[in-house]
Chain A
Amino acid sequence: MTTPVKAPVKSTKRGPGVPVQQEHWARRAVGRRETVLLGLLIVECIVLGQLSEFFLTVDNLLDTSRFFVEAGLIALGMTLVIITRGIDLSVGSLLALVSVTIGFSYQAGLPFALAVLLGFVVGGLGGLVNGLLIARLGLSALAVTLGTMALFRGVAFAVSDAGAVSSFPSSFDYVGQFYVGGQVPGQLLVFVVVAILVAVMLGRSWFGRWIYAVGHNELAARFAGLPVTRTKAMVYVITGLLVALAALIYTSRVSTARGNAGMGLELSVIAAVVLGGTDIRGGTGTIAGTILGVLILAMLQNGLTVAGVPTAWSLVAVGAVLIVGVYINETIRHD
């Protein structure tokens, strides 16, 4: 194994001979994408707080997290995928497949722990299928995951035969309906821990640097001796496992395993990741940005709902924020 390539692309615009200036930390922070997004989030919360006094309460904000954790977990994996210049449209279908696997294998008499384990195996395998087709055969990620999106959904429907399982052991409620200290949803803690793990892996480990290197210039990464194929396949497997975790939480939260779970989830996850500043053309992106993207979209939807705006309008708002947010991101990028 050769040494990993140099630090992720923060200064690609600078030529090799240009000295790196030491800027004041405050000035550096102002120009950063995450700072802009944080500002956007704060402004958004203030505006939404004006619309409804209930929005900016600790109770409401904490409770919101019950609904964004699932998309948030998947968004962590999707960030890695998009940094490698890939995309994964199959996550919503895979969530349904894992959910159905857990529900129906439990109903068929498997001990619950084994059913959950089987769910994770299915999630990992689903990701592996994507990863192998994309990394080994060199197929387009969009085309492959468009195919597996339909395939996973089809298998989920076939396994469940359009039925649903809604009887689970009562202890299962803890996964998606438990409040730590009576107030903090359990899944929020899960999300925080997993997010930190993924962030450290992406920002501080060799593997993280390989991900950036592959996304920034795959050919160069190959010439530098990096395990490009393995790296590319691995990000889909990680995403598959995160989808399995999200499916577990989702199934517990709604107490139902059904084949139509997670419909359209893939697009909202991609929206959050891209809003968070990850470039759809690969090479750049951070976990912090993704978390901000997830929060901005989740707060928007919750805030408008709390303010009594029909849910349909929040869909419009999501679309508008996506376009404006990405436009701002692109402008920052080209400066």
Chain B
Amino acid sequence: MSVAIPARPSSPAERLRRFATRPEAPSLVFLLAAVAVFSITVDGFLDVDNLQGTLSQVAIIGIVALAVNQVILGGEIDVSTGSMLATCAFLAGLVAERTSGLLAALAVALGVGAVLGAINGLLITRLRLPSIIATLGLLYVLRGTLLAEGGDTVANTPSGARVLGTGEILGIDVAVFLLIAVFGVFELLHRHSLWGREMLAVGGNAEAARIAGLRVDWIRFRGFLLVGVCVGLAAVVYVGQIGQVQATAATGFELQPIAAAVVGGTSIAGGRGSNLAPIVGAVLIGVILNVLTLLSVTGTYADLVMGALILVAISTDVLRRRLVGGSA
């Protein structure tokens, strides 16, 4: 984005410059370019079913990434989402088997998620553990418990409880609507409450935020709580899409929402980013993985592409900041 050096502050140029300083600008431009190129060159990409499938797959990562993004904005990190997702999905699956309804499963998943998120939050704000340690500890504890006590696979989830994963409204997957709804909630929080500014203030400079009178611990705590709730929601989508849960489910998942936020343009150091960033990042990763599948490139290259994408994204951000400035 080297276009925007305003000699005169003419209106379109100024608007372009404003856009260029937004955190998600490079990844959004890259995403649009990628979609344009793939639409022309890759057979079967520009197909309603394909695009729909890609977005549905992105939904789980996207919902979790939106919340993890909040935590990252606040200068913290959460690496426990993989085990948390598996735990919530496992318990939701069990409940769904017994009750064959959606509501009970959803309530259990959201409740368990909230409790787990609260545990993270308490470890970090009360015991003063660094967030990467506390969430890493929970990652191990939950996965171990699940492997030891989970026993057999929870299979044959009744179709009534799979609505969030398999249902459609107006021909579009419910999961996609959910992703958009969660995004909407976060945008509302950011635009019409103090939430967003408080989070950014804590992430930018926690000490300054404390002196300014913000309740830093509470702001951090509710960030982790929110990750738990969103993971609970994502877990019900997961159960719906897959229809079964194993004790090893979502192993290694924890790094994907972080990757999505970082690729989208949220600074891992905290204090800079947007709600759009994790969505753009998740969609970008999803689209590229989808194209690899369409080109029948073997799955072995997926990691390679994802790694390169992360490195390109964070390097671009440095480049962009040098060219057009913008808050660091």
Contacts and interface: CB of A to CB of B under 8 A. Distances in A.
Interface of A: 87, 89, 133, 137-140, 142-144, 146-155, 157-158, 161-162, 259, 263-264, 267, 270-271, 274, 280-281, 310, 312-320, 322-323, 326-327, 330, 334
B315 A133 contact: yes
A130 B258 CA distance: 18
B304 interface: yes
B127 A158 contact: no
A267 B255 CA distance: 11
Interface string B101-143: 0000000000000000000000100011110111011111111
12 contacts: A148-B311, A150-B259, A153-B307, A158-B300, A158-B304, A264-B252, A267-B140, A280-B133, A318-B144, A320-B137, A323-B123, A330-B129
A154 B305 contact: yes
Interface stretch (B90-98, B230-238, B262-270): B262-270
B175 to A, nearest CB: 24
Contacts of B296: none
B134 A323 contact: yes
A85 B311 CA distance: 20
Given A137-B315, A281-B130, A143 B300 contact: no
Contacts of A310: 147-148
B288 interface: no
Given A158-B301, A280-B133, A138 B318 contact: yes
Contacts of B311: 133, 144, 147-148, 151
Contacts of A327: 127, 129
B82 to A, nearest CB: 10
A280 B298 contact: no
A85 to B, nearest CB: 11
Given A139-B314, A147-B311, A161 B300 contact: yes
Closest 8 CB pairs of A and B: A154-B304, A151-B307, A319-B140, A315-B144, A150-B307, A147-B310, A154-B303, A316-B144
Contacts of B258: 146
Contacts of B144: 312-319
Given A312-B146, A316-B148, 5 more contacts: A89-B255, A162-B300, A270-B132, A319-B136, A323-B137
B153 interface: no
B301 A157 contact: yes
User: Chain B binding site: helix, strand, loop or mixed by DSSP?
Assistant: helix
Contacts of A142: 77, 268
B25 interface: no
Contacts of A87: 132
A311 to B, nearest CB: 8
B66 interface: no
B148 A154 contact: no
A68 B301 CA distance: 31
A86 B148 CA distance: 34
A146 B301 contact: no
Contacts of B145: 312, 316
A153 B306 CA distance: 10
A143 B314 CA distance: 7
A319 B300 contact: no
Contacts of A143: 262, 268, 310, 314
Nearest to B254: A267
Contact of A155 (B79, B143, B268, B304): B304
B105 to A, nearest CB: 25
B147 A150 contact: no
B308 interface: yes
B148 A312 contact: yes
Given A143-B268, A319-B138, A154 B314 contact: no
B206 interface: no
A263 B134 CA distance: 21
B136 A322 contact: yes
A87 B132 CA distance: 11
Contacts of B138: 319, 323
Contacts of A322: 133, 136-137, 140
B302 interface: yes
B136 A267 contact: yes
A267 B262 CA distance: 19
A322 B80 CA distance: 14
A147 B314 contact: yes
Contacts of A267: 79, 136, 139-140
Contact of A147 (B77, B130, B307): B307
Contacts of A264: 252
Contacts of B314: 139-140, 143-144, 147
The listed residue with most A CB atoms (<10 A of its CB), out of B79, B252, B298, B314, is B314
A148 B304 CA distance: 9
B136 A150 contact: no
Given A137-B315, A143-B314, A147-B314, A152 B147 contact: no
A314 B128 CA distance: 25
B250 to A, nearest CB: 13
A299 to B, nearest CB: 16
Contacts of A157: 300-301, 303-304
A274 B138 CA distance: 15
